[in-house]
Structure 1
Amino acid sequence: MQAIFVQFKCRPGTAYTVADDLVESVEEISEIYSTSGQYDLLAKFYLEAGRDIGHFVTEKLQTVDGVVDTFTTVAFKAFGRG
């Protein structure tokens, strides 16, 4: 599995609705947070190895009503205890 993190900029007043819509409609989502700064939401997704990240983001995430912009970060390795 490949982890990607996507930040979402939403139309004013829609961030919580966008978060709810993503949780309900995108099975690859792991978690989502409301954030401060240039973007309103930060979400973590797990994609199958070899899955086209560009198509996933443009077809499944950027098309959610209320999403104005996204910024995607691909994760290479997870570090942690144990």
Structure 2
Amino acid sequence: MGARRKGGTAMAASSGSTERKIHVRMDEELHRCLRIRCAELDTTIQDFVVGLIEREVRPTPDRRPRANASQRRTKERRDA
């Protein structure tokens, strides 16, 4: 297994990694709020964002995947 990141999640080894990168644009105020929230939780932005994404996109036995407000807006724009 690779190195450990803060928060206890494992990082994949550099060679043959299956991790992907994303780039997210946000305004300065939202970024400031994100940094503050991560500091309050004593976590990294990386771990915080990955946790949010995992919670929203990975189905669990007790719930089905559901469309959130952002997905509904995207669908509405496509259908318009």
TM-score after normalising by structure 1: 0.25
Select the structure of larger CA radius of gyration: 2
Higher strand share: 1
Q: Which has the higher contact order (CA 8 A, sep 6+)?
A: 1
